[in-house]
Amino acid sequence: MMLKYIGNRILQIAILLVIYVAIVFFMLHAMPGGIKTLLISNPKLTPQAQEAIIRAFGLNQPLWLQFVDYMKNVFTLNLGISFSYYPTPVWNIIAERLPRTVLLFTVATLIAFFVGFASGKSLAWNRGKTTEYVSTVVGIITYTIFTPLLIFVMIWFFGSFLGIFPLNQFLNPDLWIHTRLNAQIVFLYILMTMVIIGAVMMVSYLMALRFSHKESTKKMIFYVSTAISIVFALFLWVVSPIGIYGADILWHMVLPVMTVTIISYAGNMLVMRDSMLETIKEDFITTARAKGLPDKVVRDKHAARTAMLPVVTNFVLSLGFVVSGGVITESLFSWPGMGMTLLDSTLAKDYPLAAGALIFTGIFVLIAHLVVDIVYAFLDPRIRY
Amino acid sequence: MRPILELRNLKMYYDTQAGQVKAADDVSFVLNEGESIGLVGESGCGKTSVSMSIMRLLPENARIISGNIFFDGRDVVKLSNDEMNKIRWAGIAMIFQAAMNSLNPVYRVGDQIIEAITAHEPNVTFEEARQRVASLYKLVGLDPERMDNYPHEYSGGMKQRAIIAMSLACNPKLIIADEPTTALDVIVQDTILRELEKIQRKLNMSMIYISHDIAVIAEVASRIAIMYAGKIVEMSDSVAIFKRPAHPYTVGLMSSFPSIRGEKKELVTIPGEPPNLLNAPDHCRFVPRCPFATDECWKAVPSYTEIESNHFVACFHPQNLKKRVSINA
Ligand SMILES: Nc1ncnc2c1ncn2[C@@H]1O[C@H](COP(=O)(O)OP(=O)(O)O)[C@@H](O)[C@H]1O
Ligand code: SF4
Ligand SMILES: [Mg+2]
């Protein structure tokens, strides 16, 4: 049942993806001069190189054949050569930058989700207090604030005023000049560490569900295995020679992550608060209280668990908003991910790279959508398969 | 017989911007072990307020002004919330008005019952709790296989049965059933109530049935208390109330339910507005709608008179007295 549902969703997302790529293709065609001009209109390209591109992309063929070729090229990751990084293939650039964006977004989104969830929950539970009023107002302000303004405030406050975080960029060149390490490799190690820790958390959670029916034992299994894996990972990083470089990258991540977190936090918090306020009026909450369950159990296990569903839905709806915020954030922090690539390549008229960045940002968003849909299906048993 | 529950002059008011809503005003009654009582009255007369006071599950704007609620010898009005949590479900369980929404949609029905068991009996293992749920399911006429389903996979009647099973989970001494079947169709309503009564007798529990439908209650409860505007206006055993209703309001309630098995009807046949509990007047509260009202009724609140053994009524002009005199004679 569940597998069938997931299969269906994957199919739907795949169809959406093809449609999306097609839209990008026709958009490029609608540009003055069409794709052909776009792909070769670069002074850096020699006539031979232009010939080669025309042949490789079949740019002299009829439109529908071009479309088929284009689709084939996209799905074989043959995205052309970047003008601005000539002669690096677009795919190589994207393969390097996509993980950075994925990391930035995933970390920020998870933090924003859990902090928004927890604060929205306790605000609703302790309703009517001044703290609720103040936090709601602050939430609405950060929710409606113009993203660049937020970023400048962040940069000024943490970078200049407090001076505790680097202002921009991916790493500190002064540090890396002394090493022959490849920053990308170090970065991938960081990513791998996080994925492994995430996997350990998930597996231990599922194990806990399976092997125990006592709330406290479940929690213990989960927290202990999470703590062990984190401590172990930290230990490995500290003793390894690349530890300091990893730390440098992480250090540079703090501000961008914080910014994207703030951008999506307020929405989560406000939706959670509203949803929680509605949920605690439900009859099943009265039932839970009548059963003599402790207040905390009523709040967390019954109210918050059910109130969380709209927050997940809201996340899907606000995905576009978070991505556009991400483009601005990456650019202003010079965080070399997909967002910055998208903006820079467009400004530099580097069309192959821009198209590639557009396509892969889209793929990323669609996959995020898929993941959230699947998570939702696990959270809400009422979902129809 | 030992009293399991005694309400003594309970006053519970809601604070609202318009003033105090006197939802329970001097409510007193005694319920013995193994006995059942029906609380009957139009919607808005304070039945749920009384039951929520007993459970101490009142909203924030509610206040118990005075009075006592003795459960098993202890005054629950004075208990802390933690102490109350021990009494909830293990001592007093509830079957709620809104069966449809009384179960949490994201958990399996069986697990929600097990949760109640393990909260009060921490030494019971998961397997033992499951077995208990299975036997409860059989008792209320549900297939034990269904305990692993989610609420949305149950029909309305099944949900109500599951909730009844849940109310029995911790072997409570008292169950309050607040309009347990109003949301269901008439036939299901009838079977479920009858089964509930059977279970109540079998397990020798005490029971408070709450309903606006006096005919339904008369069949299952041994005693009936009629509530009007936050007050109990008449109380006696079911037969006496049904055969010889003394309070004009009770008479009205009866005539608005002409047949016992008839369609469910709203109380439209008593003319006049249902009372406003705001700023309760210092005269009989039924007077604007009462066909027997006299000047006397506008001047004072009638106190209880015992018109026959254990039949109390708060009215200056009780009805059906003649018949009674001849019976007593
Ligand atoms: N939280 C509340 N605040 C103010 N008034 C309330 C509240 N809950 C119920 N009431 C009022 O108290 C009266 C009794 O309500 P209730 O006990 O629910 O009656 P019943 O269960 O007999 O229908 C009604 O007039 C209702 O409007
Ligand atoms: S006291 Fe008077 S007004 Fe009130 S119910 Fe009795 S007869 Fe009617
Ligand atoms: Mg009610």
Task: State which fold the B3-91+172-313 domain adopts.
Answer: Rossmann fold (3.40.50)
Sequence-distant contacts of A234-237: CB under 8 A, at least 24 apart: A237/A193
End-to-end, the C-alpha distance of chain B in Å comes to 29
Q: φ, ψ for residue B94 (rounded to 5)?
A: -130, 145
pLDDT, tens only, A144-173: 777 778 888 888 888 778 777 777 777 777
3-state SS, one letter per residue, for chain B: CCEEEEEEEEEEEEEECCEEEEEEEEEEEEEECCCEEEEECCCCCCHHHHHHHHHCCCCCCEEEEEEEEEECCEEHHHCCHHHHHHHECCCEEEECCCHHHCCCCCCCHHHHHHHHHHHHCCCCCHHHHHHHHHHHHHHCCCCHHHHHCCHHHCCHHHHHHHHHHHHHCCCCCEEEEECCCCCCCHHHHHHHHHHHHHHHHHHCCEEEEEECCHHHHHHHCCEEEEEECCEEEEEEEHHHHHHCCCCHHHHHHHHCCCCCCCCCCCCCCCCCCCCCCECCCCCCCCHHHCCCCCHHHHCCCCCCEEEECCEEECCCCCCCHHHHHHHHC
Mean pLDDT over A323-345 rounds to 85
Using most ligand atoms within 8 A of CB, pick from B297, B313, B321 the residue to mutate for ligand 2: B297
CA B179 to ligand 1 center in whole angstroms? 14
Task: Give residue B329's pLDDT.
Answer: 39
Using most ligand atoms within 8 A of CB, pick from B285, B303, B317 the residue to mutate for ligand 2: B317
pLDDT, tens only, A102-111: 888 888 888 9
CA B298 to ligand 2 center in whole angstroms? 9
For A207-220, give one letter per residue: b (16+ CB within 10 A) or e: ebeeeebeeeebee
| CA B285 to ligand 2: nearest atom | 4
Asked whether B297 lines ligand 2 (CB < 6 A), one says yes
Cβ distance of A292 and B98 shorter than 8 Å: no
Q: What percent of chain B has pLDDT over 90?
A: 67
Domain ranges for chain B: 3-91+172-313, 106-171
Instruction: Kindly state whether A288 is in contact with chain B, defined as any CB-CB distance less than 8 angstroms.
Output: yes
Asked whether the predicted pLDDT for residue A51 surpasses 90, the reply is no
Mean pLDDT over A342-352 rounds to 83
Sequence-distant contacts of A108-112: CB under 8 A, at least 24 apart: A108/A256, A108/A257, A108/A258, A108/A259, A108/A260, A108/A261, A108/A263, A108/A264, A109/A260, A109/A261, A109/A264, A109/A315, A109/A322, A111/A257, A111/A261, A111/A265, A112/A260, A112/A261, A112/A262, A112/A263, A112/A264, A112/A265, A112/A268
Asked whether the predicted pLDDT for residue B328 surpasses 60, the reply is no
Judge residue B98's burial from the number of C-beta atoms within 10 Å of its C-beta, 0-12 exposed, 13-18 middle, 19 or more buried: middle
Q: What percent of chain B has pLDDT over 70?
A: 92
Task: Give residue B256's pLDDT.
Answer: 65
Q: Which amino acid is at B24?
A: A
Closest residue by Cα to residue B104 from A282, A311, A309, A122: A282
pLDDT, tens only, A217-230: 888 889 999 999 99
Which residues on adjacent β-strands are paired with residue B225?
B39, B235
Q: φ, ψ for residue B8 (rounded to 5)?
A: -120, 105
User: Comparing B213 with B256, which gets the higher pLDDT?
Assistant: B213
Contact residues, chain A, for B94 at CB < 8 Å: 287, 290
**Residue A249 in domain:** yes
Inter-chain CB pairs, A–B, below 8 Å: 71
Nearest ligand to the CA of B246 is 2
Domain span including residue A106: 97-181+242-379
Asked whether the predicted pLDDT for residue A35 surpasses 70, the reply is no
Cβ distance of B88 and A292 shorter than 8 Å: yes
Cβ distance of B85 and A284 shorter than 8 Å: no
The shortest CB-CB distance from A293 to any of B55, B94, B119 is to B119
CA pseudo-torsion sign A121, A126, A127, A129: negative
Judge residue B187's burial from the number of C-beta atoms within 10 Å of its C-beta, 0-12 exposed, 13-18 middle, 19 or more buried: exposed
pLDDT, tens only, A241-257: 888 888 888 888 888 88
Task: Give residue A60's pLDDT.
Answer: 73
User: Comparing A335 with B229, which gets the higher pLDDT?
Assistant: B229
At A53, list the tokens: 């591109």
Task: Give residue A266's pLDDT.
Answer: 87
What residues sit around ligand 3, an ion, with C-beta below 5 angstroms? B 48
Supply the residue whose CA is at minimum distance from atom 9 of ligand 1: B49
**Residue A322 in domain:** yes
Closest residue by Cα to residue A34 from A60, A52, A10: A60
Task: Give residue A140's pLDDT.
Answer: 82
pLDDT band at B21, cuts 50/70/90? very high
Helix (H, G, I), strand (E, B) or coil at A81: strand
Closest residue by Cα to residue A141 from A291, A289, A267: A267
Q: Report the C-alpha gap between B195 and B189 in whole angstroms.
A: 10
User: Comparing A196 with A253, which gets the higher pLDDT?
Assistant: A196
Helix (H, G, I), strand (E, B) or coil at A178: coil
Q: Mean pLDDT of all residues in chain A?
A: 84
Asked whether the predicted pLDDT for residue B265 surpasses 60, the reply is no
Q: Which residue has the tokens 């509530």?
A: B227
Cβ distance of A293 and B120 shorter than 8 Å: no
In chain A, how many domains are there?
1
pLDDT, tens only, A303-327: 999 999 999 988 887 777 777 777 8
Asked if B34 and B155 count as a contact pair (C-beta separation under 8 A), the reply is: no
**Residue A354 in domain:** yes
**Residue A55 in domain:** no
pLDDT, tens only, A98-149: 888 888 888 888 899 999 999 999 999 988 778 777 888 888 887 777 777 8
**Residue A316 in domain:** yes
Task: Give residue A158's pLDDT.
Answer: 81
Radius of gyration (C-alpha) of chain B in whole angstroms: 20
pLDDT band at B114, cuts 50/70/90? very high
Asked whether the predicted pLDDT for residue B189 surpasses 60, the reply is yes
CATH number for position A317: 1.10.3720.10
Contact residues, chain A, for B55 at CB < 8 Å: 290
CA B41 to ligand 3 center in whole angstroms? 10
pLDDT, tens only, A200-218: 999 998 888 888 777 788 8
pLDDT, tens only, B140-185: 999 999 999 999 999 988 998 999 999 999 999 999 999 887 767 7
Task: Give residue B260's pLDDT.
Answer: 42
Contact residues, chain B, for A297 at CB < 8 Å: 119
